[in-house]
Amino acid sequence: MVMQEPIEFYFDLISPYGYLASTQIEAVAARHGRGVDWRPVLLGVTVMKIMGMKPLLETPLKGAYLYHDAPRVAAMLGVPFRHHGLKNINSVTALRAFVWLKDQDEGLALRFAKRMYERLWVRGEDITAPEAAAAEAEQLGVDAATLMDAVTSPAVKQALHEAVDAAVEKGVFGVPFFIADGEAFWGGDRLPMLDYWLTHHQWEKQ
Amino acid sequence: MVMQEPIEFYFDLISPYGYLASTQIEAVAARHGRGVDWRPVLLGVTVMKIMGMKPLLETPLKGAYLYHDAPRVAAMLGVPFRHHGLKNINSVTALRAFVWLKDQDEGLALRFAKRMYERLWVRGEDITAPEAAAAEAEQLGVDAATLMDAVTSPAVKQALHEAVDAAVEKGVFGVPFFIADGEAFWGGDRLPMLDYWLTHHQWEKQ
C-alpha cells in the first residue's frame, strides 16, 4: 500500500497553538518521508458559528489557563513566542493572500504563512490589514500592489471560502488540525499520536 | 527544595478522557516518587454553567471527532474501553460516595472510583443510581445500606459542593485536570508535559 500523500495541516494565523504546531509539523512529517499541505481555516467560521462557542481566550477559567499555557509550551519546545496583546485580529485578508500565493507556488505560500505567524506571535505585529500581508510577501519577492489587488478579487475571496468549506466538510473544527491517511488529529498535543499513526497505521498494540 | 506533595488529579466519572487518564496518572506520578490525590469535579457545574459550553459530545463536529477519538486512544494505551451509549448519566451520587469514602480511607475511595470508572467505561453499566455506587462499594467491603444513607446526608452533599468549589477556585475547568507544584495541566494529552515538569520544574530549555 503506497501512502505518500502529504499530511494535511489546517491552520489559522490567529491561533497561538496553530503557530506552535507550525514550528513542529514539518519535522514530524519528514520523519516519515512525508510532506505537509498547509490548508487555511477561519476559526471565526468554524469555532464560533458552527460550534456555537466563544473564542477560547474569552472563555472563563479556560482563557486564563491557555494564556499561561502557550508561552510554557513554546519555552519547552524552544521556539520564540509572545502574547501580542492586540485586539480584533482578523486573518481573512492574510489567508486570502495565502490561497492566492498557494495557487501560484506552494513553497512561496508556505514561507509567507510562516512569516505571518512570526509577525504576529514572535514580533507582536498586527496581521489584519492588507498592508501587513503585502509587507511580508514583498520580503519574499512578491509585488505588493499585485497582492493588494488580489486579496479583494472575487475569485480569491471565493477560493478561501471554498477552502474553509472543504475543511469543515472534513470535520475540521479547531486549529491546529491534522489529517493523515484517513485519521484526524486536533491539537498540537496530538503530534506524538500523529507520529504513532504514521508509524503503525493502527491503534491496537500488537 | 522539598516537593513531595501528591499530584492533584481532578476527575469526573462521566468523562471518557477522565477514565483514560485514570489508567495512566499513577505511573507518571510514581516515576517521580509522587502519590496522586484524586479530587472530584462535576463537569455539569464547571463546563456547562461557568463556561457557557455544551457537553463536548453534543458539540457539532467536535462531538463526532471525540466519539472516534476516545476508543483509539484507549487502543493505543492498551486499556479496555467502550462507548456505553447510555443517556443522562449523572455522577453526583457516585461522587458523593467518593468524598464520603475518602474522608474515611483514601485508598478505599480510590479503589471505588476505579471500579466506578470500569463500570461505566469498560462494562457499559450506569453509575447514576445510588444502588450502582452501593453495589461497587459492597465489593470493597463497604456496607451498602450505610453508603445509601450517607449519599443523601447534608454533610456529604456539602462536602462534594465544597470540593467542586475548591476545584473551580483553582481554575479547574475540565477533566482530566492535573495540578503539580503550582502548574496546571488540562487533558490526558498533557501527561508527557506533566512528566517533563516533574523532571525539570521549569519550561525553558537549558
By mean pLDDT, which of A22-31, A44-53, A66-75, B65-74 is the weakest?
A44-53
Confidence of residue A59 (pLDDT cuts 50, 70, 90): confident
Residue B164's nearest CA partner among B19, B22, B43, B9 is B43
Q: What is the pLDDT of residue A56?
A: 66
A25 within 8 A of A9, measured Cβ to Cβ: yes
| Rg, Å, chain A Cα set | 17
Q: Which of A17, A49, A62 to mutate to test the interface with B (most CBs of B within 10 A)?
A: A62
Give CA–CA dist A159/B65, Å, rounded: 26
The answer to whether B67 contacts chain A (CB < 8 Å) is no
The answer to whether B58 contacts chain A (CB < 8 Å) is no
Q: Which amino acid is at B168?
A: V
Residue in A with minimal Cα distance to B73: A203
Q: What is the pLDDT of residue A63?
A: 84
Q: Tell me whether residues A189 and B184 touch, CB distance under 8 A.
A: no
Q: Which residues of chain B have pLDDT under 50?
A: 1
Q: What is the pLDDT of residue A205?
A: 82
Residue in A with minimal Cα distance to B70: A203
**pLDDT over threshold 60, residue A1:** no
Q: What is the pLDDT of residue B55?
A: 65
Boundaries of every domain in chain B: 7-200
For residue A166 the three cell numbers come to: 472543504
Give me chain A's average pLDDT, please.
93
DSSP A81: -
**A7-11, strands of its sheet edge to edge:** A36-40, A7-11, A177-180, A183-186
What mean pLDDT is predicted for residues A124-150?
A: 98
Q: Give the pTM.
A: 0.93
The answer to whether B182 contacts chain A (CB < 8 Å) is no
The answer to whether B189 contacts chain A (CB < 8 Å) is yes
Q: Tell me whether residues B54 and A52 touch, CB distance under 8 A.
A: yes
Q: What is the ipTM of this complex?
A: 0.90
Q: What is the pLDDT of residue B47?
A: 63
Q: What is the pLDDT of residue A57?
A: 66
The answer to whether A182 contacts chain B (CB < 8 Å) is no
Residue in B with minimal Cα distance to A64: B171
What mean pLDDT is predicted for residues A8-31?
A: 97
Q: Tell me whether residues B60 and A51 touch, CB distance under 8 A.
A: yes
What mean pLDDT is predicted for residues A81-90?
A: 93
- Count interface pairs A-B at CB distance under 8 A: 85
Q: What is the pLDDT of residue A45?
A: 74
B120 within 8 A of B126, measured Cβ to Cβ: yes
Q: Is CATH 3.40.30.10 correct for A7-200?
A: yes
Share of chain A above pLDDT 90, in %: 84
